[in-house]
Amino acid sequence: MVDLRLRFPVDERGTVKSVVQYFEEIYGFTIHNMTWPCLQVGNPQSPNYLPMETVDHNAYNEDPYAEEFGIKISEKLALVEACVLPAPWLNYHDTGREKDCLPRAGQRNMMNKIFSPEPVLCLLCARPDQVERALKAHFHVAIISILQPDGKELNLVIIILPDNNGPLYGDLKRICETDIGLVSQCCLAKHVFRMSEQYLADVALKINVKVVASRDWPEVTKYAGLVCAQPHRQESIQDLFKVWQDPQRGTVTGGMVKVRLISFKRATGQKPRRIIFYSSKADFHVVICLLGFSGTVVDSKICHPTEIEFYLCSHAGHPMPPAYDAHLAAFRAQVSMEQETSDGG
């Protein structure tokens, strides 16, 4: 919604008028409620503002066609029955002072919890300009002499960075993720040596997500990132699906959707039964203004009449939407491409 006093260009010469002036001159409509907001029914690139006085309410409950079929549409939101499941207990390492805990309102603290008794590798210090060589050499020694004889893998490397590290963070992520294939957790020295229990507990939660939690459940579904160049500041996907003419092959199709479908079939041996597109924009402001309780289950009224299904709010707070993972993938790709560009001159 936008203030009625906003101004916008009305012609190629750059003439600017307010919404009130525009409707008065073009349509002869006088706007009386100057404090009411406008409705933005266009898009950010081509906005279209409508005063609320000019908009009619959709009276679906008075639709004669629906009435003929005996359909009644309520003006109120549907009320459904739901139950709240208790939070599950979390188990930690037996050597810790607290072996389990019960999260409250989706929150837990990692203080006094232990994952593993000791690290596999000893500490290693390296100059910023020698990080790549030192990291790869240390990783090779760990695999050959320590992990490979026992049939184990290196799960995590913790890196303490100087406060002013410049491009060092991006170099480390690129080396770990693209060259070695290793999960890394970076920390700033000023935070680590402060020895704050709360900071260390927060880092432990990040490590739990990166290493421990990612191994606890079967990968029924997962995100597969695909990086493509997109227009700047435009809420559209340029290469989602495209068709072009090839002199030899004729009509050719491609794009991000086709690439993902091909990779899915190669991995599973079959095509997906359904495809769901998620929008990164929240359209139902009334619905999202309040958060449901974690563990809330709805299995009636709004579910399928014959198939067994339910809706579960499994976590407290907002889950990370697919757009969040897309932003992380784009950031990682940017780090790698910046390094390749600098290496290539």
The pLDDT of residue 115 is 59
Residue 227's nearest CA partner among 322, 333, 328, 320 is: 333
Identify the H or E element spanning 161. Answer: strand 156-161
Structure-model confidence comparison of residues 343 and 146, the more confident one: 146
The pLDDT of residue 121 is 67
Q: What is the pLDDT of residues 125-157, one digit of tens each?
A: 888 778 788 888 878 777 777 666 676 777 788
Structure-model confidence comparison of residues 24 and 338, the more confident one: 24
Q: How far apart are CA 158 and CA 57, in angstroms?
A: 58
Residue 111's nearest CA partner among 5, 12, 242, 203 is: 203
Task: Tell me how far apart the terminal alpha carbons of the chain are, to the nearest angstrom.
Answer: 48
Domains in the chain with CATH codes: 2-68 (no CATH), 119-217 (3.40.50.2300)
Q: What is the pLDDT of residues 52-88, one digit of tens each?
A: 888 877 788 888 898 899 888 887 777 888 888 888 8
pTM of the model: 0.46
Give the pLDDT band (50/70/90) at residue 284: very low
98-124 CB burial, b ≥16 within 10 A, e <16: eeebeeeeeebebeebeeeeeeeeeee
- Distances in Å between the Cα of 302 and the Cα atoms of 8, 73, 81, 309 are 43, 15, 10, 10
Residue 5's nearest CA partner among 165, 323, 16, 149 is: 16
When pLDDT is averaged across residues 220-248 and rounded to a whole number, the result is 70
The pLDDT of residue 294 is 79
Cβ atoms within 10 Å, residue 154: 17
Q: Highest mean pLDDT: which of 70-74, 91-95, 134-138, 341-345?
A: 70-74
Residue 113's nearest CA partner among 103, 123, 122 is: 103
202-218 CB burial, b ≥16 within 10 A, e <16: ebbeebbeeeeeeeeee
Lookup: tokens for 325: 């993972």
The pLDDT of residue 282 is 46
291-322 CB burial, b ≥16 within 10 A, e <16: eeebbeebeeeeeeeeeeeeeebeebeeeeee
When pLDDT is averaged across residues 185-190 and rounded to a whole number, the result is 90
The pLDDT of residue 193 is 86
Q: How far apart are CA 34 and CA 21, in angstroms?
A: 12
Structure-model confidence comparison of residues 207 and 152, the more confident one: 207
Residue 90's nearest CA partner among 222, 219, 198, 212 is: 212
Give the pLDDT band (50/70/90) at residue 200: confident
Query: Is the predicted pLDDT of residue 287 greater than 80, yes or no?
Result: no
- CB under 8 Å to 338, separation ≥6 — which residues? 167, 170
The pLDDT of residue 345 is 44
When pLDDT is averaged across residues 9-28 and rounded to a whole number, the result is 82
HSE (CB half, 13 Å, CA atoms) of 230?
19
Q: How far apart are CA 343 and CA 84, in angstroms?
A: 55
Give the pLDDT band (50/70/90) at residue 223: low
DSSP string for residues in 174-212: HIIIIII--EEEEEEHHHHTTT-HHHHHHHHHHHIIIII
The pLDDT of residue 338 is 64
What's 335's DSSP letter? H
Query: Is the predicted pLDDT of residue 286 greater than 70, yes or no?
Result: no
Say if residues 295 and 85 touch (Cβ distance below 8 Å).
Answer: yes
